[in-house]
Amino acid sequence: MSLQDEIKILRKFFPEPAVNSVLESLHQHQIQLRFSRSRSSKLGDFRPAIAGKPYRISLNHDLNPYEMLITWVHEIAHLHAFKKYGRRHQPHGNEWKQLFGELMKPYLALGIFPDDIKEELYQYLYKSGATNGSDLHLRRLLKNYNANATAMVHTVESLPLNALFRLPDGRVFQKLEQRRKRFKCLCMNDKRYYLFSPIAVVVPIDGQNSNQSVYLTKKNI
């Protein structure tokens, strides 16, 4: 792929002022970047360079540009932490937190983010100390900049207890109790329990019991 093709792709996902910096990091660290399907359990993922494979970062394709950039910095901080400390550090411990803050500073200086996101990022990075990627207030603010922000969107936290909901892959879940920051949910397809972020976007199921929902899901696959 030519350099111009790479820039063209990155411009589809990242704010324009960040494109050159992202491209430089991709080449410098020889990262294999993939824009993946939407995942309710995570926004991005980092895989170290092992067994002859390059460093790999995947980002959910449907993130808005601001959320995409923050998630990119989150994952590239994992790469820097791995290079510096190997596996001898906590994934979101103090070493990672410091790197995440340092990597975010140049983007804050570029004036990329709207004022509300910028202010929350400062709180998130330098005052609250909650730089572990789970700051729900920041995530909620970022959702306001989605293309469908004015449309009716249902999240796990907006559903009543014991409500049924469906994911894009067809699986049906029942919302159970909240455990710390996530909701415990029962998958009606495999009877296993999963933890969901409160702001995971889902499709509520109305007027169906769990057996009917699973039957309909299997029928449509």
Domain 154-220 belongs to what architecture?
A: Roll (2.30)
pLDDT for position 12: 95
Q: How far apart are CA 178 and CA 36, in angstroms?
A: 28
Can you tell me the distance from the alpha carbon of 21 to that of 4, in angstroms, rounded to the nearest whole number? 15
- Listing DSSP states for 167-186 in one string gives -TTS-EEEEEEEETTEEEEE
Query: Looking at the predicted structure, is the pLDDT value of residue 115 above 60?
Result: yes
Three-state secondary-structure class, residue 200:
coil
* pLDDT score at 33: 96
In the block, residue with structure tokens 């009716």: 152
Instruction: Give per-residue pLDDT as tens, 185-214.
Output: 999 999 999 999 888 888 999 765 545 444
The domains of the chain are located at 3-143, 154-220
Report whether pLDDT(169) > 60. yes
Residue listed under structure tokens 């939407």: 38
pLDDT score recorded for residue 91: 80
Give me the pLDDT at residue 133, please.
41
| pLDDT at residue 149 in the model | 58
Give residue 188's pLDDT: 94
Q: What is the pTM of this model?
A: 0.75
Bridge partners of residue 174, in order along the sequence: 164, 186
Helix (H, G, I), strand (E, B) or coil at 43: coil
The rounded distance, in Å, linking the Cα atoms of 132 and 100 is: 9
Distance, CA of 206 to CA of 195 (rounded, Å): 22
Q: Tokens 């360079």 identify what position?
A: 49
Helix (H/G/I), strand (E/B), else coil: 31: strand
CA-angle at 68, arms to 77 and 140, nearest 5°:
105
User: 190 — phi, psi (to 5°)?
Assistant: -120, 0
Cα separation of 72 and 75, whole Å?
A: 5
Instruction: Look at the block and give the residue holding tokens 């207890």.
Output: 161
- Identity (one letter) of the amino acid at 78? H
What is the mean pLDDT of the segment spanning 170-187? 92
